[in-house]
A = this chain, B = another copy of it.
């Protein structure tokens, strides 16, 4: 019963097998391996973007920071949600990689609204040389609270960016989960609506540690390569990044694992919704939910060893009806049994 994160579970067997298969003989290092050619071709194909530049790194933070650094001069600011991973969970990584750019928090909601974005952009553009300059808009899809932007929502945000001549970055650490939830094409969810650079996540969705950065406009490809090397993110034995990503893309494994994770979350939230006192903070669109449960449900779950994050409230307090806000995440490996055991304990 581990719902702590989608990084606590095991690597998908097909990925492990691909690593083992790749482990033979000699191959050029630093990204010149043949498997990387497969990865590039496959991602260009999936995204219908034959010119796109594609690179691999091992962490989502690296993908975000390096991608943003190519879009953001140090005197500029990045517009993002106050709950964005780049703001909350990268320990000033974007500030580091951009050389000191700022992050402007847009509104107070998990999902940026076009109005809030327009206002934020407007407010940042009034001080000439004195204030930070307007830089990229960064959208997190799936958000860090588990919400998936609809295509219309994405288009509206991208339109605001375009109206202001600003590039768009997408943090897609859970891109697969968003895509299968939205049921559109990868191209529709990215460059067709104006995304310039995408962090395409693998780690949270069954890989060991690999993320692709896709630059739909390859103009900054060489700059990206230099920044990746300087940031110490260029792997010498690169084939083991390539092998993971190649297996992840083959036979649509990435969609399958995402579907499985989302389905697990649906089963879990359906069960929780039936519990008296359950209150969801957000509609759980993908594989993560922030949900308030009565303490009477949370306490026995903890006693039974269930793993999850606690965001508000003391689970060990007195009043059994008190709301405890917890985060639940399902990765590809969660089974119906895990979920049903969890629900059984929660029901008391």
Say yes or no for A233: interface residue by CB 8 A criterion.
yes
Chain A contacts with B in 202-241, Cβ cutoff 8 A = 203-204, 208-209, 223, 225-227, 229-237, 240
A230 to B8: give the CA distance in the assembly, Å.
21
A19 to B16: give the CA distance in the assembly, Å.
8
Distance between A57 CB and nearest chain B CB, rounded to angstroms: 8
A199 to B234: give the CA distance in the assembly, Å.
17
Q: Is the CB of B96 within 8 A of A92?
A: no
Q: Which of A4, A91, A240 has the most CB of B within 10 A?
A: A91
Q: Is the CB of A230 within 8 A of B19?
A: no
Q: Is the CB of B127 within 8 A of A230?
A: no
Q: Is the CB of A95 within 8 A of B102?
A: yes
Distance between A325 CB and nearest chain B CB, rounded to angstroms: 13
Q: Is the CB of B91 within 8 A of A100?
A: no
Q: Which of A28, A66, A208, A235 has the most CB of B within 10 A?
A: A208
Say yes or no for A74: interface residue by CB 8 A criterion.
yes
Of the residues B60, B91, B208, B237, contact of A230 by C-beta under 8 Å: B91
Number of copies: 4
- Chain A positions 97 through 110: 1 when the CB is less than 8 Å from some CB of chain B, otherwise 0: 11111110100000
Q: Is the CB of A74 within 8 A of B90?
A: no
Q: A64: which B residues are within 8 A, CB to CB? A: 232
Among residues of B, the one whose C-beta sits closest to the C-beta of A3 is B26
Chain A contact residues: helix, strand, loop or mixed: loop
Stretch at the interface among A129-137, A181-189, A256-264: A129-137
Distance between A315 CB and nearest chain B CB, rounded to angstroms: 16
Say yes or no for A29: interface residue by CB 8 A criterion.
yes
Number of interface residues of A (CB under 8 A): 74
Of the residues B20, B102, B229, B236, contact of A16 by C-beta under 8 Å: B20
Q: Given A5-B29, A7-B237, A16-B20 in contact, is the A130-B89 Cβ separation under 8 Å?
A: yes
Name 8 extra pairs, CB < 8 A, besides A88-B127, A90-B232: A19-B19, A20-B20, A62-B232, A89-B127, A92-B101, A96-B230, A99-B100, A133-B226
Chain A residues within 8 Å of B, Cβ to Cβ? 2, 4-5, 7-11, 16, 19-20, 23-30, 57-62, 64-66, 73-77, 88-93, 95-103, 105, 127, 129-133, 203-204, 208-209, 223, 225-227, 229-237, 240, 307
The list of the 3 closest CB pairs from A to B, nearest first, reads: A2-B26, A7-B236, A62-B232
A selection of 12 A-B contacts at a CB cut-off of 8 Å is A7-B237, A8-B28, A9-B26, A11-B240, A59-B232, A64-B232, A73-B223, A75-B223, A88-B131, A89-B130, A91-B226, A233-B233
